[in-house]
A and B are shown apart, each in its own frame.
Chain A
Amino acid sequence: GAGVSQSPRYKVAKRGQDVALRCDPISGHVSLFWYQQALGQGPEFLTYFQNEAQLDKSGLPSDRFFAERPEGSVSTLKIQRTQQEDSAVYLCASKEGPGDYGYTFGSGTRLTVV
């Protein structure tokens, strides 16, 4: 597609519920990233994929967070047993490859845990 598409745009989850957030990157983009943006803060790195390989998951805050990109295109960020501190905007970004610094961000999913 023309841009990075994320769905849903908004998600309200009850505490303890599992959620799945989807990212559809620009076609052909090898590198894909997830960032977490708390209210009033800058985004923070969660994880990085190169094609289907998850090369860095050092930013995932706990083992309740899990990301996958099984076919090297669409990615899903899953949060199990959501807690209030998980409330944030989750941004996905992609770029052509490792040697490119031209990130394209999606519009994010705003997750609210009640």
Chain B
Amino acid sequence: AQTVTQSQPEMSVQEAETVTLSCTYDTSENNYYLFWYKQPPSRQMILVIRQEAYKQQNATENRFSVNFQKAAKSFSLKISDSQLGDTAMYFCAFMKHVLDYKLSFGAGTTVTVRA
């Protein structure tokens, strides 16, 4: 079984500043997928960004970027120019490969953006 660990239960950031969320995982697989999901109070899980393990280049989506360190099994999320609408719970998730349908989630990090 895959284990996903998010060691920061809560993070607070001033609007327009940058915050970095950490995630580590444990797997014996070589090819896999990593995701960051955002869950606002509406409860719907929204995909923020994904990374394929075979790609060395870090994924970027607008203000969101990741630092993927495969050897260290680390997958951190950086939110730049934080906005009030970024306030939510963020989950790191792992999928063994695209045909393996199960997502394994970490416990989440609550991010609060202060005005």
Contacts and interface: CB of A to CB of B under 8 A. Distances in A.
Contacts of A44: 105
Most chain B CB within 10 A, of A33, A99, A107, is at A107
B63 interface: no
B43 A103 contact: no
Nearest to A102: B47
Interface residues of B, number: 22
Nearest to A89: B43
Interface in A60-114: 89, 91, 93, 98-103, 105-108, 110
Interface stretch (A11-19, A21-29, A35-43): A35-43
A106 B45 CA distance: 7
Nearest to A50: B101
A106 to B, nearest CB: 7
Contact of B102 (A40, A48, A89, A100): A48
A101 B106 CA distance: 18
B45 A93 contact: yes
Contacts, number: 54
Q: Is the interface of B mostly helix, strand, loop or mixed?
A: loop
Interface string B71-85: 000000000000000
A54 to B, nearest CB: 12
A100 to B, nearest CB: 7
Contact of B101 (A42, A48, A91, A110): A48
A42 B102 contact: no
Interface in B1-30: 4
Interface of A: 31, 33, 35, 40-45, 48, 56, 89, 91, 93, 98-103, 105-108, 110
Interface of B: 4, 33, 42-47, 50, 91, 93, 95, 98-99, 101-108
Given A89-B43, A98-B98, A107-B42, 7 more contacts: A40-B107, A42-B4, A45-B104, A56-B102, A100-B98, A101-B98, A105-B46
